């Protein structure tokens, strides 16, 4: 279920970009996208140095988890 504070934005996105996609899937897609974008930003700006030694594995993990979130909730 899409949170009330998010529903209007998701509905607007659906209407403009993907009318055939259910709101719940769009909400999960936004969540996955922002998490992936945040992970990339953390890597680019050095926020993970000294924390994660294998950034390639982290990026793969984040992408897979994001895809899982979108596909299955």
Q: Please tell me the distance from the alpha carbon of residue 56 to that of residue 63, in angstroms, as a whole number.
A: 11
Mean pLDDT of 45-67: 90
User: What are the pLDDT digits (tens) for 28-41?
Assistant: 988 888 998 998 89
Which pLDDT value is given to residue 57?
93
* Predicted pLDDT at 73: 60
Are 49 and 66 in contact by the 8 Å Cβ rule? The answer is no
The phi-psi region of residue 18 (left if phi > 0; otherwise alpha if psi is between -120 and 50; otherwise beta) is beta
CA distances from residue 64 to 4, 6, 9, 35, 72 in whole angstroms, order as listed: 28, 24, 25, 12, 12
Confirm if 72 and 29 have CB atoms less than 8 A apart: no
pLDDT at 69: 85
pLDDT surpassing 90 at residue 16: yes
């Amino acid at each position: 279920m899409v949170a009330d504070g998010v529903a209007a934005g998701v509905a607007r996105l659906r209407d403009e970009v993907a009318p055939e996609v259910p709101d719940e899937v769009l909400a999960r897609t936004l969540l996955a996208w922002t998490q992936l974008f945040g992970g990339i930003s953390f890597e680019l700006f050095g926020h993970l140095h000294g924390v994660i030694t294998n950034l390639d594995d982290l990026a793969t993990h984040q992408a897979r988890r994001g895809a899982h979130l979108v596909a299955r909730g």
